[in-house]
Each structure stands twice: as structure tokens, then as C-alpha cells.
Amino acid sequence: MRRFWQIHLSTAVMAMVVASMMLGLNVRRRSVEIIEGYTKSGRPNLDPSWQYGWPANMATVSLVSYKSLSIEVDPWVRWDRIPPWDPYWNGLNLGINVAAFIILLSSTLAFFEWFARRRERLRSELS
């Protein structure tokens, strides 16, 4: 009979697989275009950005902003942003991602450990 916190090696391996998949989903970059207002002609100003996080976007990194500082400079570049990205963290979405990670990892541990202990119990009854 195993103790409550003593798990099988196969369960630990599956927990590592789930943890690495969650990490991979959270660090994978997705390219999106965020609308930052409209021009006088009604066309949207699109801000190309990268978003990180799963299931919720915990960080948005703006690559460039289309707001100009004055007429004399290039109207498509914000010269006060060098390098041209500014990170934005969303604490609520980060919490959602952590909660999803804990739920998925604990349910994986519970399912695979239940399966392994059931198999052990059936083997001991047959012996």
C-alpha cells in the first residue's frame, strides 16, 4: 500500500509532459494586430503586437505605435520608444493561467495515479 503523496514513476512522467506542454503554450508567441483608434477617413490604425499566454493572454508586446510626435518627423514611428516595444502584463489573466495550470496538473496526477493504483490493487487481488 502506497502513502498518499507517494506516486508512481509513470504518473510523474505524465505530470512532466503536461507541465512542459503548458509551459510551451504560455511562451509561444502569437502575432496579432490591435486597433488603436481610427484615421479621419475611418480606417483603423493597426498596431502589430505579440501576445503570450494560454488560455488567457497574460502579456501583450506592442512592436510599433502609429502615433506621430510632430509633422516634421516620420508620422508612422514613435521615436520615444527605442527599442520599439513596451511590455504589458495583465495580472488577472496571469492568475487565470496559473489556475488552469494547477487544475490541469492536479487532474492529470489524480487520473494517472488512480489508474496505476487500481492496476496494483487488481494484481494483488489476483495473486
The pLDDT value recorded for residue 20 is 95
When pLDDT is averaged across residues 62-81 and rounded to a whole number, the result is 53
Give the predicted TM-score (pTM) of the model: 0.67
Among candidates 51, 79, 44, which has minimal Cα distance to 65? Answer: 79
Cα-based distances in Å from 61 to 12, 37, 46, 82, 83: 35, 18, 14, 14, 12
The pLDDT value recorded for residue 70 is 42
Indicate the pLDDT class of residue 15, thresholds 50, 70 and 90: very high
Greater model confidence, 126 or 81: 126
The pLDDT value recorded for residue 83 is 47
- Pairwise CA distance, residues 69 & 101, whole Å: 43
